[in-house]
Amino acid sequence: MRYVSTRGRAPVLTFDDVLLAGLAEDGGLYVPSHWPTFTPDDIRDMRGLSYQELAVQVMGPFVAGALTDDELTQVVEDAYASFTHPAIAPLRQLGPDDWVMELFHGPTLAFKDYALQVVGGLFDLILARRGERVTVVGATSGDTGSAAIAALRDRAAVDVVILLPKGRVSEVQRRQMTTVESPNVHVVAVDGTFDDCQALVKSLFADVAFRDEVGLGAVNSINWARVMAQTVYYFWAALRLGAPDRTLGFAVPTGNFGNVLAGWVARQMGLPIERLVVGSNRNDILARFLETGTMSRRPVEQSYSPSMDIQVSSNFERLLFEIVDRDAPEVERMLRQFAATGSYKVAEPLHQELLGLFRGYRLDDPGTEQAIADLYAATGEILDPHSAIGVMAGRVAGHRDLGTPMVALATAHPAKFPEVVERATGVRPALPPRLADLMTRPERLTDLPNDVEAVKALVRQRIAGGRA
Ligand SMILES: *Cc1c(COP(=O)(O)O)cnc(C)c1O
C-alpha cells in the first residue's frame, strides 16, 4: 500500500515512512492511495474471530508490503496483552437497539490505548529494522500523554518527552504520566497553558537542525496508523450486531475527528454503516458545520469533557479530501482560507451529501451532568462525561429516525473524571485494581519555564543519559 498527501505536494510514501513521518511535508495528512474493500462474504467470514485475529484481517491491507502477516500478528498480540477485558472492546446493551461499546479497558483507561498500543509496537519493529532511534515529543492536556507513555515506555529505540501545563491537568491524569518508572519516559511541567506546550512542541519541530540531531518523532492523532487501528473496533461491534446482513449506526464523542474518521474508513471498506453521529460539548464547531456547511472557528472553552475541548479537528482534512473527490489543490485552498480567516464553506451539494451519513449533536456541561444522572438512574451504567455525550448523541440524532442498532463509543473510564460523575450519580467511581495505588506512588516530574531553549537542553541531556 502507498500513501498520498491530502495537499498533493508531498512524496508518495510506504506505510513505514508514513508511520514515522506523521504530518506530510506539504502540511497535509497521509491517506492510502485507495481504500481496500471487503465483500459481504469476506465480512461474514470474520464472524467468530477474536479481537486480535480481526485486527490482523482489517489492518492487513494497509500494512501490505511493509509488514509480514507474522509481524503484524505479533504486534497485535503484544498490543492487547495488557487489556483487562477478555472481549477487549465489550458491548453493553442499554435498551432496544441502544448499545455502548466500552473502549476503556486498556492501560490508561481511554480509547486512545486501542491505537497507541499498536503504534508503539510498530515503532519498535520498524525502528529496529532500520537501526534508527526517535525521540517522541508531545504536548498533552490529559489523555494523549498518558496513553503515549503507556505505549512507548521501555521501548528500546524510543525516548518519550511529554510536556504538560503545570497545575492544569487533573491529578489522576498527571499521576498516570509521572508515576511511570521507565528510564525512557520524561515528563515536564511547563509554567504555562496547554497552548504554550503545543507552541513549544511546534518550535522544536520547526528547528530542522535540532529535529535531526535528536530524531524528533510524533504520535499525535493525525498519525495514519492510529486511524487504521481504530477501524478494527467498528468491525468488531458491527459483526456482533449482525453485519454484513444488518445495518447499524455509531455515535462518537469527537475532538480531533480521528475516532469518527475511523468509522468512515470502516464504511469505505464495506461495513454497512448507515449513520455516524458526531458528539460535541460546547466546543461545537463540527455540529455547527454539519448544520450549515460552514466550518468556522471560535475560541476553545473548558468543559467537563476536556478531551473534546478542541476547535480545529485536524483529521477532518482527510474526509474533506474525499468529499472533494481527492482534489488536493482544492483542499489546500480551503485550509489556507481557514488558517487566514478562521472559516471556509463547502459547496451545498457536498454538504447535503455529508448529511446522508453524518449528523452533529452538542451537549453543554449541565446537560452532560444531567445525562450521566439519567443514564445511571435508567440503566445502572456509570458513564464518564465524554461517553455520556456519545450515548445522548446516538439517542437524539440516531434512534429517532433510524430503525437500526446505534452503538455509542464509551471513550473513557468514569474513574478518570470522578468529581462530575460523583456529583451526578452519588457514586464515586473506583479506579480499576491495576491503578488502585496510583494516588500513593512516587512521582517523577521536571519543572521548566515556558522557554524553548530550556526544553531543548533537557531533551539533549536526557537522551544523552539514556543512550550512554
Ligand atoms: C481523545 C478523546 C476523544 C476525542 O477523540 P478524537 O479522535 O480526537 O475525535 C474523546 N473522548 C476521549 C475520552 C478522548 O480521550
Give the tens place of pLDDT for each residue, 380-436.
Answer: 999 999 999 999 999 999 877 788 999 999 999 999 999 999 999 999 999 998 888
Please tell me the distance from the alpha carbon of residue 460 to that of residue 448, in angstroms, as a whole number.
Answer: 14
Average pLDDT over residues 259-281: 98
Phi and psi of 265, rounded to 5°?
A: -60, -45
- Confidence class of residue 468 from pLDDT cuts 50, 70 and 90? very low
Average pLDDT over residues 375-383: 96
Q: What is the pLDDT of residue 91?
A: 98
303 C-beta closer than 6 A to ligand 1: no
Evaluated on CA atoms 419, 420, 426, 431, the torsion sign reads negative
Question: pLDDT tens digit string along 7-61?
Answer: 999 999 999 999 998 788 898 999 999 999 999 999 999 999 999 999 999 999 9
Mutate to test the pocket of ligand 1, among 172, 227, 391, 411 (most ligand atoms within 8 A of CB): 411
* C-beta neighbour count of 436 within 10 angstroms: 10
- Its CATH class, for the domain covering 91-106+224-425, is alpha beta
Sorted by where each begins, the domain ranges of the chain are 91-106+224-425
Average pLDDT over residues 189-203: 89
Please tell me the distance from the alpha carbon of residue 329 to that of residue 334, in angstroms, as a whole number.
Answer: 9
Please tell me the distance from the alpha carbon of residue 314 to that of residue 223, in angstroms, as a whole number.
Answer: 11
Q: What is the pLDDT of residue 169?
A: 84
Q: What is the pLDDT of residue 206?
A: 83
Residue nearest (by alpha carbon) to ligand 1 atom 1: 307
Average pLDDT over residues 346-360: 97
CA of 303 to the centre of ligand 1 (A): 13
Q: Is 86 exposed, middle or buried (0-12, 13-18, 19+ CB in 10 A)?
A: exposed
- Confidence class of residue 466 from pLDDT cuts 50, 70 and 90? low
Mutate to test the pocket of ligand 1, among 102, 103, 112 (most ligand atoms within 8 A of CB): 112
Average pLDDT over residues 365-373: 98
Average pLDDT over residues 365-392: 97
Question: pLDDT tens digit string along 294-315?
Answer: 999 998 888 999 888 888 888 9
Question: Which set of grid coordinates corresponds to residue 240?
Answer: 456482533
Q: Please check the confidence at residue 154 and state whether its pLDDT lies above 50.
A: yes
Question: pLDDT tens digit string along 58-109?
Answer: 999 999 999 999 999 999 999 999 999 999 999 999 999 999 999 999 999 9
The C-alpha R_g of the chain, in whole angstroms, comes to 21
CA of 256 to the centre of ligand 1 (A): 7
Q: What is the pLDDT of residue 465?
A: 63
Known catalytic residues are: 112
Q: What is the pLDDT of residue 375?
A: 97
Question: Which set of grid coordinates corresponds to residue 184?
Answer: 525512557
371 C-beta closer than 6 A to ligand 1: no
CA of 412 to the centre of ligand 1 (A): 8
Q: Which residue has the higher pLDDT, 64 or 466?
A: 64
